[in-house]
């Protein structure tokens, strides 16, 4: 097991199955282009082998499938079938929900029990303005179907000043009524926002701002969360829970256990570092050759983690896997 001076190790792996996405959210894809996959993406088999090797080399216990948009990828079924047989403690998926109803049978068959659906607004016109793709009603229907199929749903919302702050309470109520746990994600200085401080600050909404908005209507208490959780979690007694991934206000680098594998075969140990480590070539090698080399790269990737706080990264979230 590879552990750093702060006692951190890689436990959670996020795999970006493809960088293609059927949305072009303003804060993630500034050029507005949808469905652009990287040229040199790995096959489903190579990515699954990557997961198997990382379970052994790094001690990965939990896997989240993300992207890009994982549900647009033709690799999804093969990949899910393979990783489903690896004895992982948990496999979950992050999606924008546009293809959720369509792919639900596949997800149920693969025994995916937990999904995070990204949804920044319940207002159809604001939805078109932010996501620049897809259809709100289709997402809501997909979530209902997933709930009816017994899936545990979290909803991810990025609050953006001037764009969807008026949606914080409607979305919270919507989620509380249905037993979905809402996660607010503080806007991160990723991609173009890492170099454009004005654009970032104009849109950024802090944990404190969110809590005072929510506190106008609800009483809430801080709730427990796993040690390496990224979200600060709150309970609204008798109603449900919500969380805030407050990367700016309450940095979680000290306990970060995340490792990311991109669709083109790069390992990222930290969202806030431009360092990345190519493992695509190792995934064609037999285990006894791949593992020692992989372990050397994992030491480097763990060393890329920030000591205390996230400071921003040039990599776009849809490439690195949100
Ligand atoms: N397509 C999937 C989805 O929409 O959930 C998975 C990939 S998406 C990049 C994962 C998450 O990253 C989404 O919840 C999105 O809102 C979030 N995200 C992207 N760029 C971000 C940024 N700069 N700051 C905060 N969250 C961001």
Per the domain annotation, does 150 fall within a domain?
yes
Average pLDDT over residues 30-41: 88
Tokens of 139: 């997402």
Task: Assign residue 88 the CATH number of its domain.
Answer: 3.20.20.70
Tokens of 118: 């990204």
* pLDDT over threshold 80, residue 72: yes
Q: Residue 33 to residues 19, 25, 47: CA-CA distances in angstroms?
A: 12, 10, 25
Per the domain annotation, does 55 fall within a domain?
yes
For ligand 1, whether the C-beta of 200 sits within 6 Å is: no
Dihedral sign computed on CA atoms, order 57, 58, 62, 64: negative
Q: What is the pLDDT of residues 189-241, one digit of tens each?
A: 999 999 899 999 999 999 999 999 999 999 999 999 888 888 999 999 999 99
pLDDT for residue 315:
83
For ligand 1, whether the C-beta of 67 sits within 6 Å is: yes
For ligand 1, whether the C-beta of 156 sits within 6 Å is: yes
Helix (H) or strand (E) holding 102: helix 100-109
Domain count, the chain: 1
Structural domain range at position 293: 12-320
Per the domain annotation, does 4 fall within a domain?
no
Per the domain annotation, does 1 fall within a domain?
no
Residue nearest to atom 4 of ligand 1 (CA): 96
For ligand 1, whether the C-beta of 187 sits within 6 Å is: yes
Q: What is the pLDDT of residues 260-305, one digit of tens each?
A: 999 999 999 999 898 999 999 999 999 999 999 999 999 999 999 9
Per the domain annotation, does 2 fall within a domain?
no
Helix, coil or strand: residue 105: helix
Give the integer Cα–Cα distance in Å for 146 and 160.
27
Range from 7-11, 214-218, 309-313 carrying the lowest mean pLDDT: 309-313
pTM above 0.75, yes or no: yes
Residues with Cβ within 8 Å of 99's Cβ and at least 6 positions away in sequence, in order, are 22, 69, 71, 72, 142
Strand-pair partners of 258 = 12
Per the domain annotation, does 196 fall within a domain?
yes
**Cα(289) to centroid of ligand 1, in Å?**
35
3-state secondary structure 26-62: CCCCCCCCCCCCCCCCCCHHHHHHHHHHHHHHHCCCE
The b/e string for 291-304 (b: 16+ C-beta within 10 A; e otherwise) is beebeebbeebbeb
Per the domain annotation, does 274 fall within a domain?
yes
**Cα(286) to centroid of ligand 1, in Å?**
34
Give the integer Cα–Cα distance in Å for 254 and 191.
23
Per the domain annotation, does 6 fall within a domain?
no
Q: What is the pLDDT of residues 146-180, one digit of tens each?
A: 999 999 999 999 999 999 999 999 999 999 999 99
Residue nearest to atom 22 of ligand 1 (CA): 188
Q: Which atom of ligand 1 is nearest to the CA of 21?
A: 1
Give the integer Cα–Cα distance in Å for 123 and 114.
25
Residues with Cβ within 8 Å of 6's Cβ and at least 6 positions away in sequence, in order, are 254, 307
Average pLDDT over residues 13-36: 93
């Amino acid at each position: 097991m590879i552990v750093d001076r702060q006692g951190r190790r890689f436990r959670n792996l996020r795999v970006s199955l493809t960088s293609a996405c059927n949305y072009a959210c303003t804060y993630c894809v500034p050029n507005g282009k949808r469905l652009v996959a990287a040229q040199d993406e790995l096959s489903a088999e190579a990515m699954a082998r990557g997961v198997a090797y990382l379970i052994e080399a790094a001690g990965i216990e939990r896997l989240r499938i993300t992207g890009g948009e994982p549900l647009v990828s033709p690799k999804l079924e093969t990949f899910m079938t393979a990783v489903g047989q690896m004895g992982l403690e948990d496999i979950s998926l992050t999606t924008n929900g546009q293809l959720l109803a369509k792919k639900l049978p596949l997800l149920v068959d693969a025994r995916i029990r937990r999904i995070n659906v990204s949804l920044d607004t319940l207002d159809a016109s604001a939805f078109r303005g932010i996501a620049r793709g897809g259809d709100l009603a289709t997402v809501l229907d997909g979530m209902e179907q997933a709930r009816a199929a017994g899936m545990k749903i979290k909803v991810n919302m990025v609050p953006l000043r001037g764009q969807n702050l008026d949606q914080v309470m409607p979305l919270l109520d919507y989620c509380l009524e249905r037993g979905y746990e809402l996660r607010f994600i503080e806007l991160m200085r990723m991609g173009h926002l890492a170099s454009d401080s004005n654009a970032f600050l104009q849109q950024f909404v802090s944990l404190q701002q969110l809590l005072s908005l929510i506190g106008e209507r609800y009483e809430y208490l801080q709730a427990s969360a796993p040690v390496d959780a990224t979200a600060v979690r709150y309970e609204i007694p008798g109603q449900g829970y919500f969380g805030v991934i407050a990367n700016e206000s309450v940095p979680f680098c000290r306990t970060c256990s995340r490792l990311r594998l991109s669709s083109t075969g790069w390992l990222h140990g930290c969202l806030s570092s431009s360092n990345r480590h190519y493992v695509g070539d190792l995934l064609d090698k037999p285990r006894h050759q791949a593992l020692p080399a992989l372990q050397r790269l994992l030491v480097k990737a763990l060393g890329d983690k920030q000591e205390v706080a996230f400071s921003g990264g040039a990599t776009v979230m849809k490439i690195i896997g949100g």
